[in-house]
Each structure stands twice: as structure tokens, then as C-alpha cells.
Amino acid sequence: MSSQTATTAISPREKYYFLARRLHSLTGLMFSGFVCFHLLINATVLTGGESFQFCVEKIHILEHMGILVPVEMATIFFPIAFHALFGIVILLTSQSNMKDYPYGGNIRYTLQRLSAVVILVFLTMHIWHMHWLGKPFGGAQFDPANATSTAAAAMQSWSLWAPIYAIGVAATVFHLANGIWTALITWGVTIGPRSQRVAGYCCVALGAVLFVAGLGAVRGFMTYSVADGNETAAVEQVEESGH
């Protein structure tokens, strides 16, 4: 009797698609790290305008070293650009979720995709609104030299900014927390049902903290008195007194 050996040939196309999926996951994780940091720093506005200004100045030390833009591009913009572009490919090509996830995860699978679309719109508006990249298009209202008052003035310049940011924060936090949970499976960290359940609790807790921080920051900037903005003077005073 002749024995038949079953071999599964992987085409170059499948190999590159697999690598792209892994890179998509990795860039999602990289951007998740940045978002955690970003939302927590923004929430410092709740403890006073000078706290937020202080944090922004610490980050902008990189600017004085001449490496802020390259660091920002390498760790934030290129990863999210790849994640978003390949995410659109996934959105356009994925069909049923039944084969990828157990039945209980179907809602989360769909929400992951819906939240991606909301983030895409929100992120474009947010970059235009606050980041220097928005300058040629009449945006870029945030100035790191007067961080709290310019962010607050930008937020208070239109009554719809607060609800838009609240929706953006909600979509981002859901996508991030659910994404970290699936990424742990993707990378083989949580294999069994027990570890996936524990990871689920941790992701819900992380999502809750970030959601509160994000909404707190929106509230903090909406209620900050721009006219009294003296955050730069306050930071200078702290630095002069050596604290």
C-alpha cells in the first residue's frame, strides 16, 4: 500500500498576508501604548492647568534635542498609518465572523470594526484640530508653549467638540481594550479559556480607567478658564523655585 503524505503548501501571497496581519496587530499594540499615555497625560488637566503644561514641557524636551518629529513619526504616525490602511483592507475583505471567533464574541467582533471606522473619522478631525500637521488646513489650534489654555480654547471653540471627543474616546477605548484582548490570543499569550477570562477582566479594567481619564480630560479642558490661563508662568515659578 502506498502511503500519502499530506503537505500544506503556503503560497507567497498567504505568507505575506500572514506577516501583514502580524504587523497590523503589532502596530495596534504600539498605538495602544501611546493612547494610554496620551489619555492619562491629558487627564492631568483635572489637577490644574500647570500640571498639564508641565507634562507637555517634559515631552517637548525631545523637541529641544531635535528628535521630537522623527520619534513621533517612527513610534506614532507610521504605525497608526499602517494599522489604519491595512485595517481598511481587513474591513473591506472580511466576511462572516463565525469562523474566527466563538459565538459569544460576535458582537465584539462587529463593534471592533465599527469602532475602527469611528476612530478613522475622529482621528482625522483630532489631528486637524490640535496637531501641527493640521496647520496648512487652518487647524493646529494647540500650542505646546501655552498647552492648557490653547487646548482649552480649541475645545471651547465649538459646542460640538465635547460630544465629538466623548464619542471618539469611547470608540478608541473600546477598540483598544478589545484589541489588546484579541492580540493576546493572536500572539499565543492567552491560549486557554481561563487565561482569556482573566485577560478579559484586565482589559475591561484598563478600558474603564482610560474611559474615565479620557472623559475627565474632555471635562477638564471644557471647564478650564482660558482667560485666567497662566499655566506657563506657574510652571516657570515651580522650575525657578527648584521643585
* Choice from 25, 146, 150, 190 touching ligand HEM (CB under 6 A): 25
Show contacts with ligand HEM in window 33-92 (CB under 6 A).
Answer: 35, 83-84, 87-88, 90-91
Pair 108, 200: CB distance under 8 Å: no
For CA atoms 181, 186, 187, 188, the dihedral sign is positive
Closer residue to ligand HEM, CB minimum distance, 25 or 53: 25
Closer residue to ligand HEM, CB minimum distance, 31 or 211: 31
Pair 210, 39: CB distance under 8 Å: yes
User: How is residue 9 written as a grid cell?
Assistant: 503548501
- As a whole number of angstroms, the distance between CA 85 and CA 105 comes to 24
**Interacting span for ligand HEM (CB under 6 A) from 5-13, 129-137, 147-155, 173-181:** 173-181
The pairs formed by 26-29 with CB atoms below 8 angstroms and a separation of 24 or more are 26/79, 27/79, 27/80, 27/82, 27/83, 28/83, 28/179, 28/183, 29/179, 29/180, 29/183
**Interacting span for ligand HEM (CB under 6 A) from 11-19, 25-33, 62-70, 213-221:** 25-33
Q: Does 190 engage in binding with ligand HEM (CB under 6 A)?
A: no
* Choice from 45, 152, 155, 176 touching ligand HEM (CB under 6 A): 176
Amino acid residing at 181: W
Show contacts with ligand HEM in window 151-170 (CB under 6 A).
Answer: none
Closer residue to ligand HEM, CB minimum distance, 152 or 183: 183
In the shown chain, the binding pattern of residues 84 to 123 toward ligand HEM, with x for contact by CB under 6 A and - for none, equals x--xx-xx--------------------xx--xx-xx---
Shortest Cβ 100–ligand HEM spacing (Å)? 7
Q: Does 210 engage in binding with ligand HEM (CB under 6 A)?
A: no
Q: Which residues are within 8 A (CB) of 61 and not within 5 positions of it... i.e. 6 or more apart?
A: none
Closer residue to ligand HEM, CB minimum distance, 55 or 210: 210
- Residue 157 exposed, middle or buried by CB count within 10 Å (0-12, 13-18, 19+): exposed
Q: What radius of gyration, in Å, describes the C-alpha atoms of the chain?
A: 21
Shortest Cβ 36–ligand HEM spacing (Å)? 9
56 in helix, strand or coil?
helix
* Interacting residues with ligand HEM (CB under 6 A): 25, 28-29, 31-32, 35, 83-84, 87-88, 90-91, 112-113, 116-117, 119-120, 172, 175-176, 179-180, 182-183, 186
